[in-house]
Amino acid sequence: MDYKHLNPSRSSNIVVIACLAVTVSHATCWGCKRAKGKGQRAKGKGERGKGKVEYLAFSAVSMQALQSTTLRVSPLDPLRNRNPSKGGKRVFFVSATVAPKVSAPQRQKEPKKRVVITGMGLASVFGNDVDGYYEKLLSGESGISLIDRFDASKFPTRFGGQIRGFSSEGYIDGKNDRRLDDCLRYCIVAGKKALENADLPSDKLSKLDKERAGVLVGSGMGGLTVFSDGVQNLIEKGHRKITPFFIPYAITNMGSALLGIDLGFMGPNYSISTACATSNYCFYAAANHIRRGEADLMIAGGTEAAIIPIGLGGFVACRALSQRNDDPRTASRPWDKDRDGFVMGEGAGVLVMESLEHAMKRGAPIIAEYLGGAVNCDAYHMTDPRSDGLGVSSCIQSSLEDAGVSPEEVNYINAHATSTLAGDLAEINAIKKVFKDTSGIKINATKSMIGHCLGAAGGLEAIATVKAITTGWLHPTINQFNPEPAVDFDTVANVKQQHEVNVAISNSFGFGGHNSVVAFSAFRP
């Protein structure tokens, strides 16, 4: 389309806007189709040009309207009052609408779109029982010890939150149990225990519409042991010694897949892998499947089993781990001046998320409510967080908007707080950007006791967050010996505190700049 006849120098005629945030595509105007010969109008009075309009022309009145901060161009309204000849002027009119005034955030009210937590399941360094897990956290017990799963004596870091005595009896048949990577075993057991907690044992599953039940359990690394063993067999014995289960049991989606196969759940089923932000990404995505009407029930969370030589060695190479080998129990010390890196952990944390309507119809035990969440990216560095916390603060703000919650309503934060030099303060800086008055906010770090469980971290911490809501007790952040002055929050240092939680958020961030925040509260009909 030829725009040369739109002469911006003739201010009495038109104003041409060349750069607009919103453009109208495939619109047509009267008299824009130029025939040969200067000034000649296209044949056929009122014939419309068929070119794609990427430039919008506005009258002076329209320009004044656009300059107002309270007006917004609507690309959905048609161009009106188009007249090819009105006083020799060509005028386009685009309607402008007044933006609504900002009001207090509104929480979801529709039962089909409200998402509630009806079950929780886990595999952790403190066992497979949710109540037992939280009792250990409340007591301030450290689950960190020297690694004995393999010979770690030559590693600079020789400790972690290693799970011992894990049993899948009653949840996985013996033949499969011997083949599976621990990452998958943790996932399956945690998922089935979460269903039991949701009053959905195996004999009641037939009552569900399984086409509307899904699984979304992620992992940062997938079946790392299976992968490592397969590579070792290839190098030492040749390709014929690679097990046919190598690929299926190594890929990250297999936890969700196997759990879905066991349960017969035919709804949305996949895995998200965003490093240590994985679990929260899964909660956010699962809730959105429910809110969009694609599922009634989702099992969501994260699983990880990376305390093996290649996993430990990889993080050592990143210089990310604490090397406090002489005192492992005090090694994970978020917000302490003497912190020297994070401590590896492992396990799985899973929630059963349902629409309120579905949960009420089946008489489910409603534990808490998922209010909303958000995910974004720092777009800054492969492993380092932004020191100003911009990406994280934006993610927190977006999660509150999605939840229909104002910053003033939040009075508890389960922090990502990994015990790294840069990460701990970057998160604090981000929190301060969003919450101007922090005097009423309690903040704690689950990782101080169980270590950093990578892709499963957000799942295990979401369970701790929900238990804080239901019990009225916050677990301590242990190993607070020499606090950072910049952390001017109540970190629930070393001793549990009683606290009535109004709204809680749980933060999880991962390598690659992945940020995720989810919000929970007590269920109120």
Count of helix runs (H) and strand runs (E) in the chain: 14, 18
Q: Are strands 269-270 and 213-218 parallel, antiparallel or unpaired?
A: parallel
Tokens standing for 272?
């998200």
Alpha-carbon span 432 to 5, nearest angstrom: 54
Residue pLDDT, tens place only, 195-215: 999 999 999 999 999 999 999
At 462-491, the pLDDT tens digits run 999 999 999 999 999 999 999 999 999 999
pLDDT, averaged across the chain: 86
Which pLDDT does position 379 carry in this prediction? 94
The CATH number of 115-521 is: 3.40.47.10
Residue 54 — very low, low, confident or very high, per pLDDT cuts 50/70/90? very low
Sole residue written with tokens 């970057």? 426
The pLDDT score that the predictor gives to residue 415 is 98
Considering the chain, what percentage of its residues have pLDDT values greater than 90?
A: 76
| Catalytic center residues | 276, 416, 452
Mean pLDDT of 390-405: 97
Give the residue, 112 or 447, on which the prediction is more confident: 447
Higher pLDDT, 264 or 68: 264
pLDDT band at 104 (very low <50, low <70, confident <90, very high): low
Burial 385-412 (b: 16+ CB within 10 A, else e): bbeebbbbbbbbbbbbebbbbebebbeb
> What tens digit of pLDDT does each residue of 283-293 get?
999 999 999 99
Residue 420 Rama label (left phi>0; alpha psi -120 to 50; beta): beta
- DSSP lists the bridge partners of residue 58 as 15
Residue 314 β-bridge partners: none
Backbone dihedral angles phi then psi of residue 361, each to the nearest 5 degrees: -65, -35
pLDDT at site 19: 38
Per-residue pLDDT band for 388 (boundaries 50, 70, 90) equals confident
Residue 268: per-residue pLDDT: 99
Q: Can you give the pTM of this predicted structure?
A: 0.80
pLDDT tens per residue, range 294-350: 999 999 999 999 999 999 999 999 999 999 999 999 999 999 999 999 999 999 999
Strand 497-498, strand 213-218: pairing: unpaired
Region 443-451: mean pLDDT is 99
Quote the distance between the C-alpha of residue 160 and its chain's center. Answer: 25
pLDDT-derived band at 175 (thresholds 50, 70, 90) equals confident
H/E segment holding residue 224: helix 224-237
Domain segments of the chain as ranges: 1-102, 115-521
Calculate mean pLDDT across residues 357-374: 98
For 281, the token pair is 């990404």
* CA–CA distance, 213 with 397 (Å, rounded to integer): 30
What letter does residue 20 receive in the DSSP assignment?
A: -
Other beta carbons less than 10 A from residue 34's beta carbon: 16
Look at 261 and 53; give whichever has higher pLDDT.
261
The three-state secondary structure class of 215 is strand
